[in-house]
Amino acid sequence: MFSKVRIGLASGLARWHNVTCVNAKTAIQVTPALCRHQHRTFSSESGVKVLYDGLCPICVTEIRFLQFLQKNRPGKVDFVDISLSGYDGAKYKGVSYEMAMEEMHVIDEKDEVHRGIPAFAVMYSAVGLGWLGRFMMWPPVRPFMDKSYAIFAKNRLKWTGRGEECTTGRCEKKTQ
């Protein structure tokens, strides 16, 4: 019932506005305001690869949350733990362990590598949080996000009890 109302409303609005897209679910033309799928900056039709530090408790907490969100979207996101001894950057667009330890890297469905805040935007979009990714990339917010993330990326090893040796070689959490 609700879908019939939505279709009727969309087709009625489309007559009065400039029609520019087709809603794939209803196969009718609708206005841009109703084309949520076209407002997404990033999509994950053929999979996204998220490279993360599996020894970072902060990172792992976020990845577990994202894995929970994508339970209903199997195959959309591949979470790759760079801390495992078998990680090979050549398999991931040349993103070495050292590069991945410096900042977040995500490889989108077009095999493009994103770093820093754009990587988060791609990752969030892939698990259904596109609104959050778009917010982070919004010009008034982006400088704050870039600065905040730069501080986090620079200090995360220290904050999680690991040393600088982690940036150039495999590392374990320090025990004192």
The one-digit pLDDT tens for each residue of the chain (176 residues) are 444 434 443 444 333 333 333 333 333 333 333 333 333 333 334 589 999 999 999 999 999 999 998 887 666 899 999 999 899 999 999 999 999 999 999 999 999 999 999 999 999 999 989 999 999 999 999 999 999 999 999 999 888 888 666 655 566 544 44
Q: Are residues 141 and 128 in the same domain?
A: yes
Q: Which of 21, 49, 36, 40 is nearest to 110 (CA)?
A: 49
Q: Which of 97, 96, 93 is nearest to 111 (CA)?
A: 93
Q: What pLDDT does residue 64 have?
A: 95
Q: Are residues 154 and 68 in the same domain?
A: yes
- Tell me if 176 is assigned to some domain: no
Q: Are residues 51 and 100 in the same domain?
A: yes
> Which pTM was predicted?
0.68
